[in-house]
Structure 1
Amino acid sequence: MKQKTRNVLVVGVSPEEFTRVAPFLERSSFDVDRFPSASGAIELISQVPFEVLIVRFPLPDMELEDFLDAVRRDGSPCLRSPLLLLSASAGDREEAERYVGRGANRVLPLEETERAIQREVSALLQVAPRKAARFVAKLEIKLGGAKDMIICQTENISASGMLIKTDRRYDKGTQIAVEFTIGDDPRPIQALAEVVRHTMIGRDQVGGIGVRFLSFTGDSQRRFNAYLEQL
């Protein structure tokens, strides 16, 4: 059975600092999104659930407290996602420790070895939400007066959205009618979703688009959430 791709968000880490984290993430086939600035990541975390967040302290462009407020707000897809702080110096670590239990789960110095970072991320993944599965889905995309119908495979599907494996590209904000079946239930799950991100060649393990659910038809959401709870 193919191993499920785990999605990780890395925030505020410079390209040079990222070299300490990248080998483990690449070797473990993580689906990684990296934002040099925290402000650039805010929109993404409001729409896409990540299983682990790795955040530099201090952040280069905003206060950590403001960033944590955005991550942990009610309704956030990352509300319960484990968060690892990487402190830039020994002095920063003491201050970063104050946020453990207040939005952050663990703190580790940036100069730590790859093995130490691997150990911490692996520990966090044990408590990360794993409500994901793969399905074959039928998509209907309305572009102007025309309709585009495709059959494709989903990746990392969750209660708030999913990654759709496809070589087609649709603009962010494009609305998509989604239909798929779950488990032994022959009744399809029907939902309306919108495109919120595109994968990047050379960075992501799967080519496609990320979407978030806007609404569900009938009792689709109840049945879908009940199924995810069993995973």
Structure 2
Amino acid sequence: DLDRLQALPETPASGRRESVTTPRRVLAAALPADLMAQLAPALERSDFDLNRVASYASARELARLISFDVLLVGYDDAENALALLDSVRELESESRDSRALVFAAPAALASAKRALEGRVEQVLSTAGGPVELQEAVLELLRERVRLSTRVLARLTVRIAEGASRFVCQTRDLSRSGMLAITDSRYPVGAAVQFVLNFPDGAEELAGDAEVVRHAAPPRDPVTGLGLRFLRFRPGDELRLAAFLARHGA
């Protein structure tokens, strides 16, 4: 039930992503035909390499063999969805660092969000309009390039109980967010102020973020917090982009 599978170039041995001219790899799993029709204008572009499978079993097999940047998953039930994500996140899976967007029917949306909290980037209703759905997918794709590097991060997390400050390192870094290595746990949605200190001596970079997921072995290579950047100090977003470009991301 694999609609299309092209010969794909291997990820470089350095672990860095290839040039941004390389098509982003997208795996669409168990998505209804009408939903795929709505997403098609965003996905059927030369800079995206779209592969479709009809079942979770096929998605598990393919994602373990090929490194996909983004997974688009139709929600069946919590048990099957979690089993798919657990398999994809295992250390031997080629797609363990992929980002995931899940689509659920309106009646199952609330339960899907509860079951998958902290496990995927977003859970969307299949009843959303074409523009909304396409933009969610494109946002995930355009910010996928990450750099695996250790950057010193000073974090201030604000929750109802007050503020917590600590220093950690990043596991990976992109224009949209970072994975911070820490044993600390904070709820998804918690507000975070961050300051990054780069190893090449460049001026520190600061801004605001939010917790979007919890990372832990065996699904992830480290224990930590997945953070999504919300805003930067003036000029710092461009400086982050320049830093990533200098290091091949």
**Pair 1:156-2:172 in alignment:** yes
Q: Given that residues 100 and 121 in structure 2 are in contact (C-alpha distance below 8 angstroms), is that contact kept between their aligned partners in structure 1? A: no
Match of 2:103 among 38, 43, 46: 38
Q: Distance in 2 between matches of 1:175 and 1:70?
A: 21
Q: Distance in 2 between matches of 1:153 and 1:198?
A: 15
1:62-77 → structure 2 map (5 Å cutoff): 68=134, 70-72=136-138, 76-77=139-140
Q: Distance in 2 between matches of 1:173 and 1:80?
A: 19
For residues 226 and 206 of structure 1, do their structure 2 counterparts lie closer, same or farther at Cα, with a shift above 3 Å needed? same
What is the aligned length?
164
Aligned to 2:81: none
Aligned to 2:243, the other structure's residue is in SS state helix
Q: Distance in 2 between matches of 1:132 and 1:164?
A: 12
Aligned to 2:73: none
Deviation sequence 1:48-90 (CA, Å, 0-9, x none): xxxxxxxxxxxxx689x77555312xxx131376xxxxxxxxx
Q: Given that residues 136 and 180 in structure 1 are in contact (C-alpha distance below 8 angstroms), is that contact kept between their aligned partners in structure 2? A: yes
Q: What one-letter code is carried by the residue in structure 2 that aligns with 1:38?
A: F
Q: Given that residues 132 and 228 in structure 1 are in contact (C-alpha distance below 8 angstroms), is that contact kept between their aligned partners in structure 2? A: no
Q: What one-letter code is carried by the residue in structure 1 that aligns with 2:61?
A: R
Match of 2:59 among 15, 18, 43: 18
Q: Distance in 1 between matches of 2:98 and 2:229?
A: 21
Query: How large is the Cα RMSD of the aligned pairs?
Result: 3.8
**Structure 2: any 5+ residue segments left out of the alignment?**
1-12, 18-24, 31-54, 67-91, 105-111
Identity of aligned residues (%): 28
Aligned to 2:241, the other structure's residue is in SS state helix
Aligned to 1:180: 196
Aligned to 1:225, the other structure's residue is in SS state helix
Aligned to 1:157, the other structure's residue is in SS state strand
